[in-house]
Amino acid sequence: MEEKKSFLKEKIDLKSPNKNIVPITTSIENDGKLAIGGCSIQELVKKYDSPLYILDEKTLRESCRAYKKALEKYYPGKSLPIYASKANSSIFMSNLVSSEGLGLDAVSEGELLTALKGGVPNEKIVFHGNNKSDKEIEFAVRNNIKVIVDNDYDFERLENLSNSLNRDLEIMIRFTPGIECHTHEYIRTGSFDSKFGFGIEYLNNLFANIRDTKHLKLTGIHAHIGSQIFELDPHHDLGEIMVNVILDAKKFDHNIVELNVGGGLGIKYTESDDPPSIDEWVKTISDSVVKACKKNNLDFPTLMCEPGRSIVSTAGVTIYKIGAFKEIPGIRTYLSVDGGMSDNPRPITYQSNYSACLVNNPLNNNSDNKYTIAGKHCESGDVLFKEIDLAECKTGDLICVFGTGAYNNSMSSNYNRIPRPAALLVCDGDAEIIQKRENPSDLLKYDVLPDRFIKQN
């Protein structure tokens, strides 16, 4: 059998965590077992059970700082990285990104409330969404949170609300720049055919309509071209397109002072992935905007970007315990774990790939057998890995899945009435709960039996 080099032996990029498979504090203990943040994974599971989400604080902070440093390095005007909280929304994450000077974007009242409870300043929060409710818009406005106008429905209600309050409201608009990226069709949000934003061909009409309102003040524009992107050229093109939109808005007496290029930078989930660094991505965006502004004798707007996955994904791992084995001779061996699609819906939804290892034997992924790791849910498609190399394993062993900080916890569910895992923060040998484990009884909290059924029983 050909010897394979473990991805755990790869040199860790401390300056751009998105280029690593593992958190930057990942290590192998003297006994050969896996540790993160100075904490033994095996000991954490003994104390907190499994499945278990773990976030590494140093990786999170280094990711935030990489965006801040790159923007300060390459962009001569004001700048603000804004955490896309849909990736992983919690009071803890809101507090951490705010402590690093980042803003936050939210798409619901729940995410807005979480951000505020986490201490994010109102003026650093932006409110997205293609179908905001009246209640959500009023919540944002009354809390002095800037609303990004996504469509005419948003526009009409904000105009009515500003008139009823007799109050000026600063707004941003989202538009689709028509840039295609080589990514999954379900997460490609910048093409002409998108549920998000105004078509670029409609902007002049929109600029005229906003000019004719009494209280709406257009101060910013936003565009987003996709997710898990490894290409730099589309983002270079985006900068120039957005500056041209600023120039068009000036013709209608709008002074655009904020330019938000969205997010989308990819991360390294597997050894074949090769995303640009955070520094390279920010440099590409910054150079494009600066060049276009200078060409058109335009003052530099505040440059905003909205990283989500590239902030939190690499910092997170999920730990599972192995249960049943099923060998189908000549076909495959199924290895079942105590979680699955309820704590990580991305494989069944997007056919997403990850990297993993055994906690007690992380460096030996050269087993003669390949394993298909199946979740415990009542779905044939609940498979986390197909044909993965692992060291020889047995019931009770622990598996660590890397790159699960984004869109795992935030997209989790209670399918099959399975409680959500606990989430831990690790740093310098200490572990702290940031989200409690659900219990089966918690799942009954909102169930109601109608009175007539109670009387019948």
Nearest to 120 by CA among 136, 142, 87, 144: 144
The dihedrals phi and psi of 156, each to the nearest 5 degrees, come to -65, -45
Q: How many CB atoms lie within 10 A of CB 201?
A: 11
**Which H helix or E strand runs over 157?**
helix 152-165
Joined tokens for residue 341 = 């699609």
Strand 422-427 relative to strand 52-56: parallel, antiparallel, unpaired? parallel
Asked if residues 320 and 51 have their Cβ atoms less than 8 Å apart, the reply is: yes
Annotated catalytic residue: which of 64, 305, 378, 427?
A: 378
d(CA 72, CA 173): 25
* Known catalytic membership, residue 378: yes
| Cβ proximity of 55 and 426 under 8 Å | yes
Asked whether the CA dihedral 329, 332, 335, 340 is positive or negative, the reply is negative
In sequence order, the 6+-apart residues with CB closer than 8 A to the CB of 332 are 370, 372, 387
Q: How far apart are alpha carbons 398 and 452 in whole angstroms?
A: 48
**CA–CA distance, 112 with 137 (Å, rounded to integer):** 11
Q: Which residues pair with 279 in a beta bridge?
A: none
* Secondary element (H or E) of residue 387: strand 383-389
CA triple 277-278-282, angle to 5 deg: 120
Cα dihedral angle (30, 33, 36, 41), rounded to 10 degrees?
-130
List the catalytic residues.
378
